[in-house]
Structure formats: structure tokens, C-alpha cells
A and B are shown apart, each in its own frame.
Chain A
Amino acid sequence: MKKKMIIIGNLIILASIICFCGYKIYQKNHSIVLEFGMFAGSNWDVANANSYVIIDKVIAQFEAEHPGVKVHYTSGIRKTDYSEWYAQQVLIGKTPDVAMILSDDFDKLVSLDVLENLDDMADNDSSFHAEDYYTTALNTGKYRGAQYALPYETVPTLMFVNKSLLNHEGFMVPESDWTWDDMYDICSKITKDLNKDGIIDQFGTCNYSWQEAAYSNGAVLFDEDGKECYFTDQRVIDSVKFAKKLSDLNQGQNVSQDKFDAGNVAFMPLTFADYRTYKTYPYKIKKYSTFKWDCITLPSGPEGDNVSEVNTLLMGIAKQSKHKDLAWELLKLFTYDKDIQLDIFRYSQGASVLKSVTSSKEAEVILSEDTDERERVIDNTLLDVVIEKGIIAPKFNKYHETMILAEGEINKILSDDKNVESTLKIIQRNVISFLKQ
């Protein structure tokens, strides 16, 4: 009996040694594969023909630097499907080692414990300095003070200006430190009935909402966790009042984007990505070709600054990744390598998340390519300031639903002539109770 047991024991030990050796040999012969999650096209809902250029370049460089490591990605996932695709990978337990993270998904993924906390990796990497990133961009990837994702590409919101219209009406393009009053002054003089049919057909603004006004007036709508809201804050009240004042100029007419495209609106907020797409070939002939236009900062309110919302595309590492060190290297190559980040200006529509790249001479050269020499090019030092000072939209779970609720009510103020203060008090109450549900 005892002999039998010893034999069985030895056999088990032998079998496990063989298994272990086999596994090691298998590992050696089969290269490590890093899964990369990405979507095709632009994160900023603009056309992008070069979505794989940077990715392929990064992968080629990474594979050259790390022999035996392959990076694999699934191509052809559109941005609209990406969130679903990523969620499916998470559910079936095949979360890509490194992946683009949509800002709407970020909070949920962190709270589901899907993304790796990058603080330790960043601290242990002496070649990595978080200060090199724009604070705004970096903060987008933070959750309760910890870094769960790094920024890859960032896009601030800018004010599109119809230069032809302004010049025609005798105005110059405003300076970058212009104010609400400057804007209202121009809008009130521009809003006209040109063909004298009793309906206004030239407008001051389009799509400029109370929210843009609130950002540039220093207002904060929610706390970080989405437990509190501040709709009755004086700065919010002033913003809504300003938006109402602008909207009143249009005498109840709805100003759609078509009117801006047709050249009948002076100002419209759009993203830097729109600017980059439609300012350069081939898309420059598609839109806004009948008038000259440019981008400037948004006007500052009495208590705020010339700031606007900044959107950032994030990349994160999966918590269950088996090759975190390699994943970190790949993530760093995407987000921290100066050449790759400069490629964002070349092949994408956003701006680099590294301060040194966005404010560099090379970036300026790329930005001025393809534009008419007579036109003014957006100043990359201005861009630098706009990104650094930019505002990040809250990311808590109920944010979108809450904003739909609030916006519906505020739109009623703008159209129905309701009292601003008392309506905001009601909104405040409703939103609080919704947040506490």
C-alpha cells in the first residue's frame, strides 16, 4: 500500500514537471500577443481617412523594439459600436491589454474594476513624467485621484467665426480675450432681416448654449461624484440670462447649423477637430467653402475666463492583462512618445496631449500646411492655453440623463420667457432628487 502511494506520488510530481516544462517551451515558441482595442474613424465625429496610420506605425515600432511580442487589433469597429464591442470583451473576459477608452465609459469601467491603476507603473518608471501632459487631459483619466488611463489625443471647443460676414458688417475678428459684452455687441448689430421679408435671416450665434456660457463664466454644475449640483449659483444664473439675451435677439427663430453652413451666422462653437478637418484638404471643399472663416476662443463671462470644454481620448490597460509591463510600454509609446504625438497633428484631427509637442515649431508647421497663406492660422500658443485651462465635462454615471433633464427645463426658460431664478431653483430641486435616486 505504502509503495503504491509513493509510486503514485512520484508519478504526480513527474507529470507536473513535464507539464511545467511543456508550458515553458510552448511559451518560448509562441510569441506574446498584446491585444489592442481601437475604433476606426475619429473620436470627434469628423471624417478621418487615416485612422490606422498612427496605430500601424506605433505597432511596427513597438514590435521592432520588443522582438517576440506581437500586437493584435480588431479593425473595422466604428466608434458607435466600440463601446458595445469593448463591453462584450469585458463580459467574456477578453479585455484587450491596451485599449482606447471612451470618456462615457471611463467611470463605469473603473468602477467595474476593469482598468488597471497606473499610479505604481508611472511612479516606477523614471523616464515618465506626468507633468509633461496637459493637466486637463491627464485629469480626464483620473478617478478619485488615481490615474486609470492616459490621454492620447485631445480636442478643445473653439468658436468658429464667419470672417466674411464680420468683415462685410464692418467688424474685425475679435481678439482671444474678448468678452460676453463684445459678443453681444456684435450679435445685436449683425442680427438683421436682409431681404426685408419680415423674417430675420442673418444671425449672431448658432448652437451657443447656456452651457458654453457657464463654462466661460467659471460655473461648476456638479461635484465630482455627482452627488451635488449647483444650478442656483449666481454664475449659472448669469450664464442662463446671457444665453437668453442672445436667443431673444433671434425673435424666436431656431438657428440651425445649415444657416451657419450657408454663411448667415457669425459665431458657432465647434471642436478643434472640425476646424482641422474642414480647414484642410480634402474636406475643405465640402463645407464652409463659400466664406472665409477662422477659430478663436470662446468669450469670457464677467467671472470667468476664455475657456471651453476639452474632450480627451483616453487609453488604458486592462487589469487582467498578463503582460502589464509590455502594455505599459505600448501605452507610453502611444501617449508619451513625441514623434507619435506629433503624428496626431499629421494624421488625426485632435491635438497632442503633450505640452511640448502642441506648442512646438513642428506642430505649427503642420497646422499651417494646406491653409491659404493669406488666412490666419490658429495660433498654437493659444491652443496650448485653451487646452491647459480647459474644462472637463463630469463623467459620473447619471451625468447624461441629468443634463437632458436640466437642459429640457432651461430650454423652456429660453423659449417661454420664464423667470430664470425661480425656474433654476426648481431645476436644482428636481436634479438633486434625481441624483439621490
Chain B
Amino acid sequence: MGDKGIGYVKYIMLIINIVAVSFPAIFIYITTEKICDFYTARSFIGRTNSIPKKPDWILVTTILLLVCLLVSFLLREFVYRERMSFVYSSLAFDFLTSCVLMMVLNFNYNGILFWVFANIIYYVQDKVKMIFMLLAILIYVCTDHEFLTINYHLYSINDYISYYNANTQQYLIGGFNVLESLNIIVFILFCIYVIQKQQGIIEKVNYLYSQLSQKNEELENANEELKQLADIKEKMGKTKERNRLAREIHDTLGHTLTGISAGIDACLTMIDSNPQVTKKQLEVIAKVTRDGIGEIRRSVSELRPDALDRLSLESAIRKMIENMTSVTQAEVFFQCDSENLKFDEDEENTIYRVIQESITNALRHGKASKIWVTIRKENSALHLQIQDNGIGCTDMKKGFGTKHMQERIQMLHGTVSYKSENGFLVDAVIPIRWGEEYD
């Protein structure tokens, strides 16, 4: 049951309504002529309770309004079908026109409402279709001719029908009633079509929805699996790294230390008998140690942070700050007066880690919104200051990563101090091995 079926129903309804609307107007006009021709007007008005004011005017107005409805229907259906603003305004126009039409006909035929509401129901959203169906029935009942005659002077087509003989009366009343009933039946048919179509759409929507929720569930399961896999992979990575570290330590440090230990043992036995050889031996040990240090340095360099590995220290710091600020609300100001920040790897690592740890602390414990990072050179030492505007820390505990920081700096023979007023200040002085080199 598609649009084609509904289209046919609409055409049938249109024809029924054109006939049913024009019938009272034409019939009253013709009967009036007849009454006058037979000189029975006085006895006719003696029997009626109300008469139309101007039958010719009613006929002309009815036909005009019908033409209006027809034009509105044709424009809506064939010309401006896509323009919803036109469709809705033409529906409103139809409703008003039909109201005027009913008034002109003194509610002798109000089935035209069904025509208007069938069109409205056809075009409005599914949700409100039902409301319009009920509204159509309600207005139809309220505009019933017999019902309105109780309070208002309304002319009745039945008075005019009663002018004819009993046999003709039966045909006329029967014919008119059949038209009215047919109109109602077609309207009901139309509603059934619309409801069935709507039902089909609901079922389809329900089916699609159930499919969607099924897919959603599957997706969630896959996600969960993926998470587990990621955990496993992380653990595997850690294990791999540990293994590498163990291997590295075993291969380089263990090897070197074993060599050194064995060499020193040999030296100990030789030192008294042959100091000359011992000296040579010690030189060898020193070389092995230096080689070992180189080896260790190489191993450690493989453990360095990614950014530092790839970028210069300044760029790495800026990148880190950028990452930090991108994930928090805080602003970080970085100031550096040294043009070329190029240090040894361990120094760079320390500087990097200190800044990272300080910013992390300022954000996590100090709840700071602004952080200032300054690096400046002074007396062949590097002054590193990280100041924030957070709540500070009155009871300093060396648990917040500060201990770790201190150790790193001490390893480079530097000093670090903390101050907690107007926020928190980390002040580190690192003596830089300018030009100092190990090979």
C-alpha cells in the first residue's frame, strides 16, 4: 500500500466533495425557481423555519470557493510539492475556505472538513497525524446541522427537499445521505492507509534500532578485548625492556666490572714483584673502565626520553610545556637567556626531569594556574627556577618527587632549594661541565 493508493483515495474524495458541496447550492437554487414558477412560495415559507438570504449568491460563492479549493489542491500536488512553506499555507487556506464554505451552506454539508483534514494528515508529521484525525471528527460533530439548528437560524436542505413529492424526496435524501456516508467511509479508508503506512515505518525503525544496539554491544566487546591486548602488550614491553636492561648490564657493566675485578686481582699479586707490569696492567684496567663507562653511557642513552633523543633540549622543554598546557588549564611561561642549550646527556636529562617534575608538582599539589620557568647562566653554572602561583606547600615532604630531583642534582654536584611563599619556588643551581669531556 503505497502513495499511489492514497493518491486514488484523495481523488475519489475530491470528486465526492465537489458533488456534495455543489448539490445543496444548486438544488436550493433550482427549487427556489420552481417554487416561484408554481406560485407556492407563501405556503413554502409557511412550512420552513429558516430560508437562505440569497440563493443565487450562495450558488456563485459556493462554486467560487470550490474552485479556490481545487486550485489550491492542484498547486500543492503538482507545482509546489517540494516547498513546505507553500504546502502548509495552502492547507491553512483550505481550512479557512472550507469554514467559509460551510457557513455559506449553513452547515448543510460539513463533510468538506474531511477533505481538508485528509490533506493535512497527509502532509503533517507522523506524530501529530492522530491529533488531526481526532480534531477532524470533533469539528465534524460540532458543526452538525441538526445540532446547530437548536441555537441558530439555519436553512435546511431538507425543507427544500420536502417540496417535492414523497417518491422524489426519498431519492434526494437517499442520494445526499449516500454522498455524505461515502465521504466518511473514504476518509476512514484514508486514515487506515495512513496508519498502516505509519505502522510500517515504526516497525522498520524498531528493526534498525535493534540492529544498531546489537552492533553497539559487539563494538563494546571488541573494545574490551583491545584494552586487554593493550595491557598485555604493555606488560610485554616492560618485560622486554627489563630483559634488555638485564642483558645490557650483563654484557657491558658485568663484563667490564668482571674484567676490572680480574685485572685488579692480577695487579694485587704482581704489584710487589713487578710494579712496572702492574702499572701497565692498571693502565689497561683504566682503559677498560673508560670503555665500560662509554658502554654504559651508550646503554643509558638508549633509555633517554624520546623528546630529548630527537630534539634539542630547548625544543624538548617547549614541547613538554606545550603537552602540559594542552592537557591542563594552566599557563606556563618559559624564559631562557642562554642561546645555545647544549649540554651533556645526563645534564640535559636532569634539567628536563627537574622542569617536568616541578611543573607536575605545581599542577598536582599547588593547583597553580600560572607557572614561570626561567633558565639563565651565571658563573659557569646554570640557574633553574620554577615559580608557580599555586597554594604552595607549608609542610614540605620529600615525597612529591622532590627527593628524586635532589638526588639527580646532587649527582651533578648541584644544589636545590625550595621556597613556599606566593606559590612555590624550585631554585636549582647546576654546575655545568663546560668543555669537560669524557672520552
Residues of A within 8 A of B (CB): 83-84, 86-88, 90-93, 105, 108, 111-114, 320, 397
Contact = CB atoms under 8 A, between A and B. Distances in A.
Interface of B: 32, 35-36, 39, 41-42, 44-46, 48-57, 153
8 contacts: A87-B44, A87-B45, A88-B39, A91-B32, A91-B41, A105-B42, A112-B50, A320-B53
B44 A91 contact: yes
Contacts of A111: 49
Contacts of B35: 88, 91
A86 to B, nearest CB: 8
Contact of A93 (B44, B49, B57): B57
A35 B41 CA distance: 19
B60 to A, nearest CB: 12
A88 B52 contact: no
Contacts of A91: 32, 35-36, 41, 44-45, 51, 55
Contact of A92 (B32, B39, B48, B153): B32
B157 to A, nearest CB: 14
Contacts of B45: 87, 90-91, 108, 112
Contact of A87 (B41, B54, B56, B57): B41
A93 to B, nearest CB: 3
Nearest to B51: A112
Question: Across chains A and B, which 3 residue pairs bring their CB atoms closest together, nearest first?
Answer: A93-B54, A87-B41, A87-B42
Q: Is the interface of A mostly helix, strand, loop or mixed?
A: helix
Contacts of A320: 53-54
Contacts of B51: 90-91, 112, 114
Contact of B36 (A92, A108, A112): A92
A84 B50 contact: no
Nearest to B33: A92
B154 to A, nearest CB: 11
The main secondary structure of chain B at its interface with chain A is: helix
Contacts of B42: 83-84, 86-87, 105
Contact of A113 (B46, B50, B57): B50
Given A88-B39, A93-B55, 16 more contacts: A84-B42, A87-B44, A88-B36, A90-B41, A91-B36, A92-B32, A92-B36, A92-B56, A93-B57, A108-B45, A108-B46, A112-B48, A112-B51, A113-B50, A114-B51, A397-B46
Contacts of B46: 108, 397
Nearest to B52: A93
Given A88-B36, A91-B35, A91-B44, A113 B54 contact: no
B389 to A, nearest CB: 59
Nearest to A82: B42
Contacts of A84: 39, 41-42
A108 B46 CA distance: 7
Contact of A88 (B41, B54, B56): B41
A111 B47 CA distance: 12
Nearest to B31: A91
Instruction: Please indicate which of the listed interface residues B36, B41, B48, B54 has the most CB atoms of chain A within 10 Å of its own CB.
Output: B41
A297 to B, nearest CB: 35
A146 to B, nearest CB: 15
Contacts of A92: 32, 36, 54-56
Contacts of A112: 45, 48-51
Contacts of A105: 42
A83 B52 CA distance: 18
A88 B37 CA distance: 9
A93 B41 contact: no
A276 B41 CA distance: 34
A112 to B, nearest CB: 6
B113 to A, nearest CB: 26
A83 B35 CA distance: 14
Contacts of A87: 41-42, 44-45
Nearest to B58: A93
Contacts of B39: 84, 88
A87 B53 CA distance: 12
A105 B39 CA distance: 16
Contacts of A90: 41, 45, 51
Question: Which of B45, B54, B56, B57: most chain A CB closer than 10 A?
Answer: B45
